[in-house]
Structure 1
Amino acid sequence: MSVDQAVWILLFLAIVLANVPWILSNRLFVLVALSKPKALWLNLIEWLTYLVVVGLIGIWLEYKTMGNIEPQQWEFYVINLFMFTIFSFPGFIYRYNLKMYLDKAKK
């Protein structure tokens, strides 16, 4: 696998996983079906878990493609947090703004 392929895989995975907690409001970690929609705090816990998972996959892809893991400073992790937040924006808007209007339009 080349470095370019690893970057595209990681970006795609980050965008998908950043939106999963917001779009799948009746499922916890995609596997557990819930009887009622998740609370905001549960969405945030799931979102942070996916952030850590994407970070670990990124470290694994870096090691797999380049053979070593470059040490990073705190700025790198803050930028990753904010990028993951930006990636999750469409799912958040769908869950808390757009879905309410779509449900009203159906009635």
Structure 2
Amino acid sequence: MLEIILLCGLAVLAANLPFLSDRVGFFIPPAALKMNFGWRLLELVVLYLGVGLIARVLEARVTSVQPQHWWFYVATAALFIVMAWPGFVWRYFWRKPGL
């Protein structure tokens, strides 16, 4: 049960990470490459795949990995995008003083 809660917390954190920094992949400074929505979307896809890999490894430690169909991945991607909503709102809609 604790693993499930930690995995969900990790997914929420990973979904919001692209919107928290102006660096591309948290490594390349913003002066070297302009961070636009395309880069954030790419980071979101990479983090989705990373969380999915961690979930698969955790499942393999407990039991045999169940085969999934395409609709499972569509549903989990939609949930991951919904989890990214607070970071998206903070980055693009929240009014920042002085800007």
What TM-score comes out, normalization by structure 1 length?
0.83
Identity of aligned residues (%): 28
The reply to whether residue 92 of structure 1 matches residue 88 of structure 2 is: yes
Q: Which amino acid aligns with 1:92?
A: F
Q: Which runs of 4+ in 1 moved over 6 A?
A: none
Residues 43-62 of structure 1 mapped to structure 2, 5 A cutoff: 43-62=40-59
Name the SS for the 2:96 alignment partner: helix
Give, in whole Å, the separation in 1 of the partners of 2:68 and 2:3.
18
Out of 52, 61, 65, the residue aligned to residue 69 of structure 1 is 65
Give, in whole Å, the separation in 2 of the partners of 1:52 and 1:75.
15
Out of 76, 79, 89, the residue aligned to residue 80 of structure 1 is 76
Name the SS for the 2:4 alignment partner: helix
Give, in whole Å, the separation in 2 of the partners of 1:37 and 1:75.
34
Question: Which has the larger share of helix?
Answer: 1
Deviations 1:11-59 (Å, cap 9, x if unpaired)? Answer: 01100010010121x1222233322751111110111100110110110
Give, in whole Å, the separation in 2 of the partners of 1:88 and 1:95.
11
Aligned length: 98
Q: Which amino acid aligns with 2:54?
A: I
Give, in whole Å, the separation in 1 of the partners of 2:38 and 2:6.
28
Question: How many angstroms does 1:87 deviate by?
Answer: 0.3
Q: Give the gaps of 5 or more residues in structure 2.
A: none
Name the SS for the 1:20 alignment partner: helix
